[in-house]
Structure 1
Amino acid sequence: MKSCNFTHTTFILIGLPGLEAAQFWLAFPLLTMYVVAVLGNCMVVFIVRTEQSLHAPMYHLLCMLAAVDLALSTVIMPKMLALFWFNSQEITFDACLAQIFFIPTFSAIESTVLLAMAFDHYMAICHPLRHGAVLTNTVLAWIGTVAVIRSSFFFLPFPLLIKRLHFCGSNILTHSYCVHQDVMKLAYADTMPNVVYGLTAILLVMGVDAVLISLSYFLIIYAILQLPSQTERARAFGTCVLHIGVVLTFYVPLIGLSVVHRFGNSLNPIVHVLMGNVYLLLPPVINPLIYAAKTKQIRFRVLAMFKITCEKKPQTVRSS
């Protein structure tokens, strides 16, 4: 290889390859999804904090999940909207490194919270008498702290491994935001350490979490099948279906994106971009809708808030 004596200070974001003319209009659905994610997750946090009956481990974990979803979507959405609306394609090297760190870190925190929620279900169904004694507020605080420390520890090397590389060839990325695998492919150097560490970190965090979540639900389903009453089995299954849907919403796009990045070089570039956007934008939008639709207390509070708002409007008009 020829010597490489400089590195790019900016990268160029492509957006949606082949759909550049439609990007301006496609930004409106993306903005709608982001607004729904912000309002939905903020509403979940507000309702859980103000409703005394929701001060339980499962709902505290739900608040953590909502906060992480909000942070994850906010990391990419402002720059993506600027790209689609104002053709702001350039992103600085430091801003790119920040996205390379925060995106997998927040994803790993969400994975840990989903594991904690699976453990909460396991204790509630398999060991109900010990549930309250084990999952205390102190334990939940430790779970949140460990999730942040663990995720930061595993994914802080991502930007450091990228920063050691030189980029003196193309600086055009194939996504609407910076991804470790995408930036790594542009490097004019040996990227094998990046490949090995990236795969190892994903397997040790998300991979281990997925295995433990699967094990938890195997034990949960086994315990449910031992219940004597069909009504009790149906009720127990109903409490698990909600969380299983949230887990699938997170892990299915993650696994699909990882497979496409490593083995889908022959695919159309837009497939990579769309899967990357789905992976980051779908869970923040879907999760609050799932919990609002399936959790009676949250649904009632949301309906009550809208009812109060609708009742106040006519009064304001009459007074004027």
Structure 2
Amino acid sequence: MAHDATGRFGLTPRDWRNLRRGLLFISPWIVGVLAFTLFPLVYSIIISLTRYTGFSKPKWYGVHNYTRMFTDPIVGTSALNTMWYAVFAVPIGILIALALALAMNRRVREVSVYRTILYMPSLIPQFAFSFIFIVLLNPGYGVINKFLGLFGVPAQDFLSSGAGIKGVIIGMAQFAAGNAALIFLAGLNNVPETLYDAAKIDGAGAVARFFRITMPLLTPVLLFNAINAVNQALQIFTPGYIVPSTPGGPNNGSLFYMLNLYENAFSYAQLGYASALAVVLFVVGIAMAYLIFRLSRRWVHYGVEV
């Protein structure tokens, strides 16, 4: 049987045809990445070096926007609020998602109904969920204060202090744990049953099986969910904009980094400065992901021999 002659780059004419067809099929994705990811990234870097209001031509500003960030107290406040949120929301969310996945993995007849109920809150858009929480937490007629009143607890205005509103927003985030729970559930379904059977024969209890079999084999999924959660925490925006009576309030208690970026861009028409904030956030996100990957070498297990 004759073979096609090898051309440039070691590819035969058939290989070139297959390559062209493959590129044609994925061309919508390539265009999307170039137009909506790569171009905005490069453009933001360029604009961050200028003074630009969006209404006039950009004027070269050098690194002034970046040096300004280190002396802007609002940037420090927003970064601290975001870090505070991430430190609490990410681990709590992962634990809740893992607990939901374990509940979804139970072999009961109504498990499909339970999975639907547990996942449904994560389908509610954040802006709608924010309005729901405003009503639930209202000190006058909110359901939560009505419930606390049954136990003699006076009505609380949870949204009147910086610490209180951060706690509310962290609590809101946990209702979206269904997405991570589904990923954990997929990981649980990939754990070989033979390992559990062998552990039972050796006399291992449920707790020992969980920590010695389930958790080690779930570490790749845990890594994926952790990176996703950190990325989402760094970009927290909607609750801080909608839940308080004024965006970022009270006393800048819910002024997150993305909200500060948004206000600089669209309220103060400082697009150059906002772009610098966005570039720094991008770099911090990449650094956090890299750090998590580096640390994961010590505790992530990618395979098991059965």
TM-score, with normalisation over the residues of structure 1? 0.28
TM-score calculated relative to the size of structure 2: 0.29
Larger radius of gyration: 2
